[in-house]
Amino acid sequence: MGCIEAAIVPARDLYHQVVRRALQQDGWSITHDPYTLSVGGRNVFVDLGAERLLAASKGSDLIAVEIKAFSGPSELASLEQALGQYVLYRSLLRKIEPERRLVLAITQITYDTTFAEPIARPVLDELRLDLLTFDPGKERVVKWIHSTDTGN
């Protein structure tokens, strides 16, 4: 007999409200907090869902944002966890709502250190991540890095 897990929303990341405000300052409307992906009676929770209206095409850009603080005892372990979640969430999102893009939100400092390390670059290039870097002190988006910008 299968077990269906109760819908327990995990604790919010350290930078949850910071990223929420940064996205809003960048012109995004928060549509989900959290964004729930339901498959086979199980739920996973991406931190935020957001939408931005595109004037030229009269459509909208849809994203799901997973926020990671990299505040654990090991940056490599934090990277492994973040990449695992990203791959799982992106795979599910492509089946459930393929027009919504998954974005991993990290501090600019984490990008400049952990993500620039030689051990991380080949994996990041292969996975073709969409990233958002932010400044937690200013609560602002610093940079959008799309998978097509990684060089592969």
Residue 9: the pLDDT is 63
Residue 4: the pLDDT is 44
Tens of pLDDT, residue by residue, the chain (152 residues): 444 444 566 667 789 999 999 999 999 999 999 999 999 999 999 999 999 988 766 678 999 999 999 988 899 999 999 999 999 999 999 999 999 999 999 999 999 999 999 989 898 889 999 999 999 999 999 999 986 554 43
Residue 56: the pLDDT is 67
Residue 93: the pLDDT is 97
Q: Is residue 70 one of the residues assigned to a domain?
A: yes
Q: Is residue 137 one of the residues assigned to a domain?
A: yes
For 115, the domain range is: 26-149
Q: Is residue 83 one of the residues assigned to a domain?
A: yes
Residue 60: the pLDDT is 85
The domain that holds 53 is classified in CATH as 3.40.1350.10
Q: Distances from the Cα of 152 to the Cαs of 26, 107, 108, 125, 146, in angstroms?
A: 27, 23, 22, 6, 11
Q: Is residue 16 one of the residues assigned to a domain?
A: no
CA separation for the pair 53, 61 (Å, rounded):
6
Q: Is residue 88 one of the residues assigned to a domain?
A: yes
CA separation for the pair 139, 105 (Å, rounded):
12
Residue 1: the pLDDT is 42
Domain count across the chain:
1
Residue 59: the pLDDT is 75
Q: Is residue 120 one of the residues assigned to a domain?
A: yes
CA separation for the pair 112, 34 (Å, rounded):
27
